[in-house]
């Protein structure tokens, strides 16, 4: 996954930019994450806490879908009548 580059070229900044523009970062990050470079290589991705938490929720949801699909493939299913009788 390290070689995967999802970088938006418009939001790639050297690490020195973060220090020089710390006060402005929040408004810049409101629209998309910032890819930070050091010595010309991407080293960090900076995003708002809100965007991070939303991404974590989306990943958790996708994992639930994958787990559910795997359960169905494994035959771990029951009919509606069986489910209702268990309630």
Domain that holds residue 84: 49-87
> Are 17 and 57 found together in one domain?
no
Tell me phi and psi for residue 37, to 5 degrees: -110, 150
Q: What is the pTM of this model?
A: 0.66
> Are 61 and 34 found together in one domain?
no
> Are 42 and 55 found together in one domain?
no
Question: For each successive 10 residues of the chain (87 residues), what is the average pLDDT?
Answer: 54 88 86 91 92 96 98 94 92
In whole angstroms, what is the distance from residue 54 CA to residue 4 CA?
Answer: 21
Which pLDDT does position 7 carry in this prediction?
54
Bridge partner residues of 85 (DSSP): none
> Are 37 and 55 found together in one domain?
no
Count of the separate structural domains present in the chain: 2
Which pLDDT does position 1 carry in this prediction?
44
C-alpha neighbours within 13 Å on the C-beta side of residue 79: 3
- Tell which residue, 55, 6, 54, 12, has the closest CA to residue 34: 12
């Amino acid at each position: 996954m390290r070689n995967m580059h999802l970088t938006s070229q418009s939001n790639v900044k050297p690490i020195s930019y973060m220090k020089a523009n710390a006060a402005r970062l929040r408004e810049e990050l409101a629209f998309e994450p910032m890819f930070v470079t050091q010595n010309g290589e991407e080293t960090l991705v900076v995003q708002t806490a809100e965007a991070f938490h939303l991404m974590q929720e989306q990943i958790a949801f996708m994992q639930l879908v994958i787990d559910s699909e795997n359960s169905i493939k494994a035959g771990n299913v029951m009919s509606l009548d069986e489910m209702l009788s268990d309630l």
